[in-house]
Amino acid sequence: MIVLERTDNKKTGTERSNQLMKRTLIAALFALVTTFAYAQPTQGARSFDAKIKQEILSELKEVITTVAFVPGADFAKWPEVLEEYKEELDASKSPEEFAFVVNTALQKFGFSHILLFSPMAAERRSTNKMVGIGVRIEIEENGIRVIRVYNDGPAYAGGLKAGDLIIEADGKPVRKPSDLAGEEGQAVKVKVDRNGVIIERELVRKAFTTVVPEELSFPEKDTALLTIPSFDATYNRERVQELMGKLDETKHLIVDLRGNGGGQVFNLLHLSSFLLTREQPLGTFVDRNAVKKYTEATGDDKADVFKIAQWSENKLLPLRRNKEPFQGDVIVLVDGGTGSASEMIAAALKEQRNAKIIGTQSAGAVLASTMRPLDYGFLLQYPLMDYVTIKGKRLEGNGLVPDVIAPAAKFGAADIGVQEALRVFKEKKDGQKAA
């Protein structure tokens, strides 16, 4: 998602609305389901009565019907939409069940960036921590494959490694993420198949960080692979600058945005500054104020988002830098987990630098939104703006269609996306030689 600021829920409704309408608040979505899952705990029922539910729903109604904005969307229908789920809401017994029902109702609008986080989910989002054994996994027929071991988690301390196949937990077969779930402090005995050797370990579930750092590698001499896992608060600007500083002699760059669901707009513009000039804008945000100004200036009160974006002079630009951006060829890797800010920079590189897009179709979740804390620890994300690329493409609901299809490879297999990128670079080089 793309968030610049969290709003203050202690102001009056009018003050909050005015405050939000005056500010340009951008927030990027990350509520996407990828092909990977984290082993995490189950959540027991907690005291959650009708009075608390009603208070949360009242806050939701105020924000969604008066402040949320997407061109052409009728958020005034929210009470009518919610009424369809009254029985499920009444039956919900925990904040997690309640949030699930609310989010099911919110999806009726058909937009991204509109989501209610339960207190537990909100805490996980703010701390970038989860409770479990500390692994990222991939489901297989005979178990769960470990594809990443987090350094501060129980699995790392217990000696598990990427590539291990977890086949049992407490004597029972492991076939899905919930088979590894449990509460913090609970011990679990896992049986692991490591290249045909069976290993047993007892792990005690604990909180671990899910932060994944940016990485740079060189699959070939003149070709670099830059992996950006996220643009959220975990994006490390100093590290990215350090990594980009190693590309002075590099001719080709693969930017891997697979699984990157977005993040803060400043971080998006920071990376953009290494790849685009200030004369290469990314696109245009269209908010309520832009629609109003367009109508006042033109008298056209029925214009679509494309006309307004084309008319607007408020373009999204990379940050200023004293050094020229990377001059070599660029390819961008995307998949279904590539969302929001990641889709924006991928589209900009395609439109402004003719970068090839390789992978599978991106999420199509590109509305600008903000986060607002609600009572009882809930957190609401809601949209404030739409987005149109500099060449007039609306990414929300559409996503990016790759120039070259490259499906995800199973763990341990060759990375098809990287292989395809190397092939494209080679074909271009061979073509230039022939010419």
List the one residue out of 386, 402, 405 whose CA is nearest residue 350: 402
Cα–Cα distance for residue pair 247/356, rounded to 1 Å: 19
Do 77 and 177 lie in one domain? The reply is no
Confirm whether 7 is domain-assigned: no
Residue 270 shares a structural domain with residue 320: yes
113 and 261 together in one domain: no
Whether residues 159 and 186 share a domain: the answer is yes
| Contact yes or no for 163/24 (Cβ under 8 A) | no
- Same domain flag for 389 and 249: yes
Backbone angles phi, psi at 287, to 5 degrees: -115, -175
Is residue 239 domain-shared with residue 184, that is, in the same domain?
no
Same domain, 120 and 136: no
**pLDDT value, residue 124:** 85
pLDDT at 292 > cutoff 70? yes
- Do 247 and 396 lie in a common domain? yes
What phi, psi does 196 have (nearest 5°)? 90, -10
Query: What's the CA gap between 318 and 154, in Å, rounded?
Result: 41
Domain co-membership, 289 together with 408 = yes
Quote the tokens at residue 125.
């989002």
Vertex 81 angle, CA 79 and 87, to 5°: 95
CA 152, 153, 156: angle at the middle one, nearest 5?
90
Q: Compute the distance between CA of residue 199 and CA of residue 149 in angstroms, rounded to an integer.
A: 16
Structure tokens at 362: 């991106």
Cα(243)–Cα(153) distance, integer angstroms:
27
Under DSSP, the state recorded for 430 is H
DSSP state of 409: P
**Tell me: the pLDDT tens digits for 114-151?**
999 999 899 888 888 889 999 988 889 999 999 999 99
Domain C-terminal end among 209, 233, 255 = 209
Domain boundary among 148, 178, 209: 209
Nearest to 28 by CA among 372, 348, 262: 262
The CATH code of the domain that includes 324 is 3.90.226.10
Q: How far apart are CA 153 and CA 148, in angstroms?
A: 11
> What is the arithmetic mean of pLDDT over 59-84?
95
pTM: 0.84
| Amino acid type, 390 | I
Mean pLDDT across the chain, nearest whole number? Answer: 88
What is the extent of the structural domain holding 140? 129-209
Burial of 57 (0-12, 13-18, 19+ CB in 10 A): middle
The yes-or-no verdict on residue 261 having pLDDT over 90 is yes
Is there a domain that residue 38 lies in? no
DSSP 8-class letter at 367: -
- Structural domain tally of the chain? 3
Residue 380 domain flag: no
Instruction: Show Cβ contacts of residue 420 under 8 Å, excluding neighbours closer than 6 positions.
Output: 358, 404, 406
- For tokens 């009603």, the residue is 54
Confidence bin at 45 (pLDDT 50/70/90): very low
Residue 97 domain flag:
yes
DSSP for 190-245? EEEEETTEEEEEEEE-EEEE-----EEEEEETTEEEEE---BSTT--HHHHHHHHT
Q: Are 369 and 382 in contact (CB under 8 A)?
A: yes
For residue 4, tell me if it sits in a domain: no
Reply yes or no on whether the pLDDT at 26 is more than 60. no
The mean-pLDDT minimum among 120-134, 272-286, 329-343 falls in 120-134
Decide if 379 is inside a domain. Answer: no
Q: Are residues 347 and 409 in the same domain?
A: yes
407 pLDDT above the threshold of 50: yes
Confidence of residue 435 (pLDDT cuts 50, 70, 90): low
Strand, helix or coil at 126?
helix
Torsion of CA 67, 71, 72, 75, to 10 degrees: -20
- Judgement on whether residues 145 and 197 belong to the same structural domain of the protein: yes
Regarding whether 342 and 236 lie in a shared domain, the answer is: yes
Q: Phi and psi for 236 in degrees, rounded to 5?
A: -105, 100
Interval 156-204: pLDDT, tens: 999 999 999 999 999 999 998 889 989 999 999 999 999 999 999 999 9
Q: Is the pLDDT of residue 304 over 70?
A: yes
Query: Rounded to whole angstroms, how far apart are CA atoms 100 and 113?
Result: 15
- Give the pairing type, strands 315-316 and 283-287: antiparallel
For residue 376, being part of any structural domain is answered with: no
**Separation of alpha carbons 171 and 166, rounded Å:** 12
| Structural domain includes residue 312 | yes
Return d(Cα 424, Cα 345) in angstroms, integer.
20
Answer yes or no: is pLDDT of 430 > 90: no
DSSP string, 135-149: EEEEEETTEEEEEEE
Torsions phi, psi for 117 (to 5 deg)? -95, 130
Strands, E, within 335-374: which ranges? Answer: 356-359, 368-373
Q: Could you tell me the pLDDT band of residue 33, with boundaries at 50, 70 and 90? A: very low
Joined together, the tokens standing for residue 300 give 């056209």
- Other C-beta atoms lying within 10 Å of the C-beta of residue 209: 15
> Which pair of structure tokens corresponds to residue 323?
């050094």
pLDDT at residue 251 greater than cutoff 50: yes
Taking the C-alpha atoms of residue 308 and residue 434, their distance in angstroms, rounded to an integer, is 45
Domain boundary among 126, 151, 182: 126
Please list, in sequence order, all residues whose beta carbon lies within 8 angstroms of the beta carbon of residue 433, skipping any fewer than 6 positions away.
none
Compute how many other C-beta atoms are within 10 angstroms of the C-beta atom of residue 9: 14
CATH number of the CATH domain containing 157 = 2.30.42.10
Instruction: Give the alpha-carbon dihedral of 151, 155, 157, 159, to 10 degrees.
Output: -110
